[in-house]
C-alpha cells in the first residue's frame, strides 16, 4: 500500500516538482496551498507524513504545527518543516515545538527522501527487526531444549567431576568467544549464584603480553596449545569455544588438551565444524547465525555453572544477594 504524504505549500511550481519526484518514488501526494486547508486535510485524510513550508497564508508553519500537535487525531503524524536558506535555525520555532525534522530550500532530493523514509518507516522497521531477532533466539532456544539436554548434562557432569577432584576448568576462544571464556571462568572462580568457595577455573585469553609473544615468536595458531602444554593436566576439563568450529588455534588447543589427557568440551554451532572431531563432547548450538550461536553459548555456560554450583554446595552455600 502506498504511503501518503501531505504537502502544504503555496508555491505551485515547487509543489508540482515535488509531486513528480515523490510519485516517482511510489508515494501518493496530497496537496494544500495554505495552512487551514492543510489542517483540514491532515484531519480528514490522515496522511503518513506532512511536508510543510514555514511561510504560508492563513496559518503559517509554526501555527499549523502547533495545531497538529494539539489535536489527538493528528499529533502522531510526522512533520518535516521546509525553510528558506538564510533563516536561522534558532528561529525555527516550529522545528523545536513540534516538527520532527526540517530541511532547507533548495534541498537535495535524496536528503529529503531519506528523511521521509526514516520518519515513515524507521520505527516500524526497527520494531520488525527486534521482533525477528527475538523470534530467532526463541527458535534456537526451543531446539536446544528439545534435542540437546542430554549432552548439556553430560558436559555439566564432566565439569562437576573435575571440580570435585580439585581439577581445573580451562576456557578459551577468539573475539566474542574469548569474552565468553573469561565470563564463564569468572562465574566458577568467583561465584555464580551462591556464596561458596572458589573453583579452579581460568581463561587463556587474558594475558596480553603472553598472547602477543606467542603470536609473534611462534604463530597465532599456537596461542592456546602452547599454554596448555604447561597448564593442562590429566583430569582437567578444557572448553574450546568457536562459533564456526573451525578456528585453527582452538582446534590445536583441543588437540593439545587431549594429549595431556584432559576432558575436552567443544562449544560451537551449526554442524560443528572441525571441532566436533577433536573434542570428547560437542555442544553445537542449532543455528548458523553467529549472534544466535553466541547467545546459546552463554546460556549453556550458565547452565553448566549453575549445575556445578548447586551439586557441589547443596549444604554449605547460600544464595548471594
pLDDT of residue 120: 87
For 46-70, what is the mean pLDDT? 86
CA distance 176 to 243: 9
Query: Are 165 and 77 in the same domain?
Result: no
Q: Has residue 141 been placed in a domain?
A: no
Q: Residue 177 domain-assigned?
A: yes
- For 98-128, write each residue's pLDDT tens digit: 788 888 877 888 889 989 988 888 766 777 7
Q: How many domains does the chain have?
A: 2
Q: Give dist(CA 5, CA 77) in Å, integer.
A: 10
Of residues 221, 275, 272, the one with CA closest to residue 249: 221
> Does some domain include residue 142?
no
Do 309 and 166 have their domain in common?
A: yes
CATH for 179: 3.40.50.10490
Residues 17 and 157 in one domain: no
CATH number of domain containing 10: 3.40.50.2300
pLDDT category at 317 given cuts 50, 70, 90 is: low
Mean pLDDT of the 291-307 span = 97
CA distance 202 to 170: 5
The pLDDT score that the predictor gives to residue 320 is 60
| Mean pLDDT across 117-145 | 88
Whether residue 60 is contained in a domain is answered as yes
Contact 279, 153 (CB under 8 A): no
pLDDT at 37: 93
* Res. 90: pLDDT tops 50: no
Instruction: Report the candidate in 16, 6, 11, 13 with the shortest Cα–Cα distance to residue 37.
Output: 6
Give the whole-number percent of the chain exceeding pLDDT 90. Answer: 71
Same domain, 162 and 115: no
pLDDT value of position 133: 93
Q: Do 188 and 116 fall into the same domain?
A: no
pLDDT tier at 61, thresholds 50, 70, 90: confident
Residue 94 has pLDDT above 80, yes or no: no
Do 152 and 110 share a structural domain?
no
**Is 76 part of any domain?**
yes
45 and 186 fall within a common domain? no
Report the percent of the chain where pLDDT is more than 70.
93
Residue 131, domain member (yes or no): no
294 and 155 within one domain = yes
Structural domain that includes position 113: 4-125
My answer on whether 200 and 305 are in the same domain is yes
Closest by alpha carbon to 233, among 193, 263, 274, 189?
Answer: 263
Q: Considering the domain boundaries, does residue 202 fall inside one?
A: yes
Which pLDDT score, from 0 to 100, does residue 65 have? Answer: 86
User: Are 285 and 191 within one domain?
Assistant: yes
Domain contains 23: yes
Q: Which pLDDT tens digit goes with each residue over 11-37? A: 888 889 989 999 999 999 999 989 899
Amino acid at each position: 500500500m502506498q504511503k501518503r504524504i501531505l504537502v502544504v505549500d503555496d508555491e505551485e511550481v515547487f509543489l508540482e516538482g515535488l509531486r513528480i519526484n515523490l510519485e516517482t518514488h511510489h508515494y501518493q501526494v496530497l496537496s494544500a496551498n495554505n495552512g487551514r486547508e492543510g489542517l483540514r486535510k491532515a484531519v480528514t485524510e490522515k496522511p503518513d507524513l506532512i511536508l510543510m513550508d514555514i511561510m504560508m497564508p492563513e496559518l503559517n508553519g509554526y501555527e499549523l504545527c502547533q495545531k497538529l500537535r494539539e489535536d489527538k487525531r493528528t499529533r502522531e503524524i510526522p512533520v518535516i518543516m521546509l525553510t528558506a536558506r538564510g533563516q536561522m535555525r534558532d528561529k525555527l520555532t516550529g522545528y523545536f515545538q513540534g516538527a520532527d525534522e526540517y530541511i532547507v530550500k533548495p534541498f537535495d532530493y535524496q536528503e529529503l527522501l531519506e528523511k521521509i523514509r526514516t520518519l515513515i518507516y524507521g520505527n516500524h522497521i526497527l520494531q520488525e527487526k527486534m521482533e525477528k531477532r527475538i523470534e530467532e533466539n526463541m527458535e534456537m532456544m526451543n531446539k536446544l531444549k528439545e534435542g540437546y539436554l542430554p549432552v548439556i548434562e553430560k558436559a555439566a557432569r564432566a565439569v562437576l567431576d573435575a571440580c570435585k577432584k580439585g581439577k581445573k576448568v580451562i576456557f578459551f576462544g577468539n573475539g566474542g568467544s574469548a569474552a565468553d571464556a573469561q565470563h564463564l571462568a569468572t562465574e566458577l572462580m568467583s561465584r555464580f549464584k551462591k556464596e561458596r568457595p572458589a573453583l579452579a577455573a581460568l581463561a587463556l585469553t587474558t594475558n596480553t603480553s603472553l598472547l602477543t609473544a606467542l603470536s609473534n615468536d611462534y604463530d597465532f595458531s599456537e596461542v592456546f596449545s602452547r599454554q596448555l602444554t604447561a597448564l593442562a593436566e590429566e583430569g582437567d576439563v578444557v572448553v574450546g569455544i568457536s562459533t564456526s568450529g573451525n578456528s585453527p588455534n582452538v582446534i590445536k588447543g583441543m588437540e593439545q588438551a587431549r594429549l595431556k589427557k584432559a576432558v575436552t568440551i567443544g562449544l560451537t554451532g551449526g554442524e560443528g565444524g572441525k571441532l566436533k572431531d577433536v573434542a570428547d563432547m560437542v555442544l553445537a548450538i542449532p543455528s548458523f547465525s553467529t549472534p544466535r550461536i553466541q547467545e546459546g553459548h552463554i546460556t549453556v555456560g550458565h547452565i553448566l555453572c549453575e549445575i556445578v554450583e548447586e551439586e557441589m554446595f547443596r549444604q554449605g552455600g547460600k544464595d548471594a544477594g
